[in-house]
Amino acid sequence: MRSRQFGESVLKTYHYKGFDRDGRSRRGLVEALGVKDARERLAKTGVFAEKIEAVGGMARTVPGTAGNVGLTDERRIMAYRELGALVKAGLPMVRAIEVLIDSPEIGDARGRLAAVKDAVREGASLEDALGGASAKVGPFEKAMIAAGERAGTLGDVLEKLSSFMEEQQSLKERVRTAMIYPLIVVSVAVIVAVGVFVFVLPQTGKFLHEMRLPVPLVTRIMMSVGNIVAICGVPVVALVVLAVAYFRRRLRTSESVRLKFDRRLFSAPIIGRGYSLLANLRFARTFSMLLRGGVAAVDAIILSGRATGSVWITSLSESAAETVRHGGSLADAVRVMPPLASTLPAWIQAGEAGGNVENLLDNAAERYQRQWERFVTRSLGLLEPAIILALGVFVLVVALSVLLPIIAGNQALQAQ
> Would you tell me the crossing angle of helices 271-292 and 344-354 to the nearest 10 degrees?
20
Residue 61: the pLDDT is 41
Categorize the per-residue pLDDT at 312 as very low, low, confident or very high, splitting at 50, 70 and 90.
very high
What is the pLDDT averaged over residues 131-136?
77
User: Residue 323 pLDDT > 50, yes or no?
Assistant: yes
In angstroms, the CA 247 to CA 358 distance is 40
CA angle 125, 128, 134 (to 5 degrees): 135
Categorize the per-residue pLDDT at 367 as very low, low, confident or very high, splitting at 50, 70 and 90.
very high
DSSP sequence for 234-293:
HHHHHHHHHHHHHHHHHHHH-HHHHHHHHHHHHHSTTHHHHHHHHHHHHHHHHHHHHHHT
CA angle 355, 357, 362 (to 5 degrees): 140
Which of residues 50 and 184 earns the better pLDDT score? Answer: 184
- Poorest-confidence range of 50-64, 91-105, 151-165, 221-235? 50-64
Categorize the per-residue pLDDT at 276 as very low, low, confident or very high, splitting at 50, 70 and 90.
very high
pTM of the model: 0.67
Residue 69 phi/psi, 5-degree rounding, is -65, 125
Nearest CA among 124, 166, 115, 123 for reference residue 142 = 124
Residue 71: the pLDDT is 75
The per-residue pLDDT of the chain, averaged, comes to 79
User: Residue 155 pLDDT > 80, yes or no?
Assistant: yes
Q: Judge whether 74 and 168 are in contact, CB under 8 Å.
A: no
Residue 60: the pLDDT is 43
In a 13 Å sphere around the CA of 121, the CA atoms on its Cβ side amount to 23
In angstroms, the CA 201 to CA 226 distance is 8
Q: Judge whether 326 and 332 are in contact, CB under 8 Å.
A: no
What is the pLDDT averaged over residues 5-15?
59
Other C-beta atoms within 10 Å of 167: how many?
A: 13
Residue 238 phi/psi, 5-degree rounding, is -65, -45
Residue 413: the pLDDT is 64
What is the pLDDT averaged over residues 373-396?
82
Residue 197: the pLDDT is 74
Q: pLDDT tens digits, residue range 259-269?
A: 999 999 998 88
CA angle 54, 132, 297 (to 5 degrees): 150
Q: Give every CB contact of residue 235 below 8 A, 6+ residues apart in sequence.
A: none
In a 13 Å sphere around the CA of 216, the CA atoms on its Cβ side amount to 18
Based on the number of CB atoms within 10 Å of its own CB, is 357 exposed (0-12), middle (13-18) or buried (19 or more)?
buried
Based on the number of CB atoms within 10 Å of its own CB, is 355 exposed (0-12), middle (13-18) or buried (19 or more)?
exposed
Nearest CA among 256, 307, 282 for reference residue 150 = 307
Q: pLDDT tens digits, residue range 43-79?
A: 777 777 767 777 765 444 433 334 444 678 888 888 8
